[in-house]
């Protein structure tokens, strides 16, 4: 007679999948699969064929893996706004919303992380989604992009594999919202096409300071089509008005504990305060006759077109000016789809884009419970909708009349547009080729653009990338995976590979020189074009106060910074008030134990009586200032508060506690002169904050 434990074991075995090492890969129907890296296409660069049952099954099963949150991009934040073009783009596209500068097109934008669930933190190292729904007069257009201009794979059939690899380990569901684990790096080390996107992931681009300070990209090469039917290849770029700024990894990790909602709170608060974030939409345009003139394939989503080869042409701006009223009804239920296009915008044969055009609709069907999700207010077009689609889950439209075509009982309505010039017409592209599973040779270069990204970085960015690789690979238990990844990095840059190898305890690969020489300065966060206009609007500035502070001095500085648009908060050991040097009470905005330096963009230490430094003895204050300094943030100090900065003992920095007027040195602005802060000091501090970070500093002790 079997025991209860035996019965449980039999039940487990009955539901356990066959041993994956027991035979070849098959479909769900048991059909053996001989190739799963490329979709079936009409020729090497032709479109994906819908008869590819393995591709459709694989993507369908993947799309239906989670109920009800999104499989990827589960954690997000959204806002409404408008888009307006600068001038007519009729030369390149007939899209109505890109024609008249006086017409504002409503939009909804959703920002998101990719790997983690809804309950994960905002500041994880990850790709960020940047999806925009344009409610145009011709129907909804969805530009579904990311904050990286490239993706990890070239063919959508690999998407389930990539996401399975980057998601938490299947045996213990760890880690949440992180890529630092064995399965992701095992996949990366075996799929060199991932390397370009991995370089972006290891850079500070993967930990944005704010959604409002984040670039966006359409990733794929799309096609503009004008009224004459002429096509032009196009890549889309969003550039934030505030400049492109990021956290550093140390900050990002602490933010996850201090404020896991750091980015979504920032977006919400800015819009509520009337500080509406703005982006400029730019395009890179390539005439169709130049399609094959590059040393990479325009259809390859792991490649960029360097701006030095094809400049980005600004065509309009987007402003977000309204927060949603209900997170679930709007931000959670918004449904994007790459195939939601309008006349004048069309697709290319990019195999990743072709897969997304199938996958997004399939995903919404399971996630939103049926085909009627377009009737939800956040998804509803402003253009009239007249179809013969009926019924299904969550049908809310009360239809009348006939539901088929052709018909006579309904007067033939809704009728075909016939020759209506406003109707959508697919671009007439010749397609010819054998049905094959083989990637074009033009997709085979996986290392040169990863090297281009590395070569384009400033020295401090390169150091951050090395540290990121060391952190990520240091979390990988399998040393064979560490070593194999380093070998792939050696094909990008030998120096990078050697530095990473030393940090993760694997042999340095041979050949430590640069493999590729190309660079694109526009990719660096040091690029002038990405810094913004120097404004300090919405920058968070902490003022550290305690009993004995010169309250009059603090008030004057706060008012001056607030006039520039900064958000200034006074922090002290406890909430409530402190007693100023004049005996008056001064209000405290937040208690130090509830915040941290990582939540602010700059710190100011005011003074007290000439012979005292009211906050210098406080270890929490010293840690706050030290962290701000280490993270490259502007530091300002007045009067006796300069002693706090001097106590850090940074070698080679112009910090003197002797009497002097304002001195500014690598983002550290000090002034020991008595009385109120001078206009010179305030301007120097504003300029330092406007530069965001200062990485050319000498180190500090501790």
Active-site positions read 73, 146
Neighbours of 391 (CB within 10 A): 10
Confirm if 312 and 283 have CB atoms less than 8 A apart.
yes
Residue 258's alpha-carbon distances to 204, 269, 600, in angstroms, are 20, 17, 12
39-60: b (≥16 Cβ within 10 Å) or e: bbbbebbbbbbeebebbbebbb
H helical segments located in 417-478: 448-456, 459-474
Among 376, 426, 429, 391, which Cα is nearest to 140's? 376
Confirm if 641 and 626 have CB atoms less than 8 A apart.
no
Q: Alpha-carbon distance 281 to 130, whole Å?
A: 13
The arrangement of strands across the sheet holding 668-671 comes to: 590-591, 567-572, 540-544, 602-605, 635-638, 668-671, 663-665
Structure tokens at 478: 């399998």
Q: Alpha-carbon distance 78 to 67, whole Å?
A: 21
Q: Alpha-carbon distance 118 to 71, whole Å?
A: 10
- Could you please report the per-residue DSSP string of 146-212? ESSSS-S-SSGGGHHHHHHHHSPPTTT---TT---SHHHHHHHHH-GGGHHHHHHHHSGGGSBS-GG
576-579 and 278-287 strand pairing: unpaired
Q: Which helix (H) or strand (E) holds 112?
A: strand 105-113
- Rg of the chain taking only CA atoms, in angstroms: 28
3-state secondary structure of 669: strand
- Could you please report the per-residue DSSP string of 572-606? ESSSEEEE-TTS-EEEESEEGGG--GGG-SEEEE-
3-state secondary structure of 128: strand
Confirm if 623 and 604 have CB atoms less than 8 A apart.
no
Residue 607's alpha-carbon distances to 353, 449, 610, 683, in angstroms, are 58, 51, 8, 18
Q: How far apart are the first and last CA of the chain?
A: 67
């Amino acid at each position: 007679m079997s025991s209860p434990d035996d019965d449980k074991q039999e039940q487990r075995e009955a539901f356990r999948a066959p041993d994956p090492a027991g035979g070849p890969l098959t479909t769900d129907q048991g059909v053996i699969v001989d190739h799963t890296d490329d979709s079936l296409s009409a020729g090497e660069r032709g479109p994906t064929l819908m008869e590819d049952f393995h591709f459709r099954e694989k993507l369908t099963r993947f799309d239906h893996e989670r109920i009800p949150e999104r499989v990827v991009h589960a954690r997000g934040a959204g806002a409404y706004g408008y888009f307006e073009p600068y001038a007519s783009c009729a030369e390149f596209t007939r899209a109505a919303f890109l024609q008249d500068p006086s017409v504002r097109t409503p939009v909804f934008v959703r920002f998101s992380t990719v790997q983690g669930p809804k309950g994960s933190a905002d500041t994880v190292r990850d790709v960020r989604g940047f999806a925009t729904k344009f409610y145009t007069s011709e129907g909804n257009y969805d530009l579904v992009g990311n904050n990286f201009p490239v993706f990890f794979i070239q063919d959508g059939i690999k998407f389930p594999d990539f996401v399975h690899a980057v998601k938490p380990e299947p045996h213990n569901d760890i880690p949440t919202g992180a890529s630092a684990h064995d399965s992701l790096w095992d996949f990366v080390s075996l799929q060199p096409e991932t390397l370009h996107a991995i370089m972006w992931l290891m850079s500070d681009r993967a930990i944005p300071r704010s959604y409002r300070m984040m670039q966006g990209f359409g990733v794929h090469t799309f096609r503009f089509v004008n009224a004459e039917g002429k096509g032009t290849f196009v890549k889309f770029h969003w550039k934030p008005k505030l400049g492109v700024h990021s956290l550093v990894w140390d900050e990002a990790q602490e933010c996850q504990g201090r404020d896991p909602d750091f980015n979504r709170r920032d977006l919400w608060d800015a819009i509520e305060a009337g500080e509406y974030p703005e982006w400029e939409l730019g395009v890179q345009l390539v005439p169709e006759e130049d399609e094959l003139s590059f040393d990479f394939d325009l259809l390859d989503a792991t490649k960029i077109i360097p701006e030095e080869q094809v400049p980005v042409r600004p065509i309009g701006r987007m402003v977000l000016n309204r927060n949603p009223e209900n997170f679930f009804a709007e931000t959670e239920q918004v449904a994007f789809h790459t195939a939601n296009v309008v006349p004048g915008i069309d697709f290319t044969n990019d195999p990743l884009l072709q897969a997304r055009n199938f996958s997004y609709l399939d995903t919404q069907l399971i996630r939103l419970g049926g085909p009627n999700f377009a009737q939800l207010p956040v998804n509803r077009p402003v253009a009239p909708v007249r179809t013969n689609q009926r019924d299904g889950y969550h049908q809310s439209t009360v239809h009348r009349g006939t539901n088929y075509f052709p018909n006579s009982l309904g007067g033939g309505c809704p009728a075909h547009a016939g020759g209506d010039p406003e109707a959508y017409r697919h671009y007439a592209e010749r397609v010819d080729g054998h049905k094959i599973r083989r990637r074009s040779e033009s997709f085979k270069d996986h290392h040169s653009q990863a090297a281009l990204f590395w070569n384009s970085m400033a020295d401090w960015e390169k150091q951050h990338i090395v540290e990121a690789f060391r952190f990520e690979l240091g979390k990988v238990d399998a040393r064979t995976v560490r070593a194999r990844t380093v070998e792939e990095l050696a094909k990008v840059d030998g120096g990078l590979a050697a530095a990473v190898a030393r940090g993760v305890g694997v042999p340095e690969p041979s050949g430590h020189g640069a493999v590729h020489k190309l660079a694109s300065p526009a990719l660096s966060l040091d690029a002038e074009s990405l810094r913004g206009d120097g404004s300090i609007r919405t920058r968070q500035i902490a003022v550290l106060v305690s009993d004995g502070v010169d309250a009059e001095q603090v008030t004057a500085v706060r008012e001056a910074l607030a006039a520039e648009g900064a958000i200034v908060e006074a922090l002290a050991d406890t909430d409530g008030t402190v007693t100023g040097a004049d005996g008056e009470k001064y209000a405290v905005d937040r208690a130090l134990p509830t915040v941290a330096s990582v939540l602010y963009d700059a710190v100011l230490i005011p003074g007290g009586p000439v012979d005292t430094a009211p906050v210098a003895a406080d270890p929490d204050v010293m840690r706050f200032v030290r962290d701000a300094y280490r993270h490259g943030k502007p530091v300002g100090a007045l009067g006796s508060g300069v002693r706090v900065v001097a106590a850090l003992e940074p070698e080679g920095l112009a910090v003197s506690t002797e009497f002097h007027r304002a001195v500014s040195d690598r983002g550290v602005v000090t002034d020991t002169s008595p009385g109120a802060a001078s206009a010179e000091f305030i301007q120097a501090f504003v300029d330092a904050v406007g530069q965001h970070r200062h990485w050319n500093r000498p180190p500090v002790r501790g």
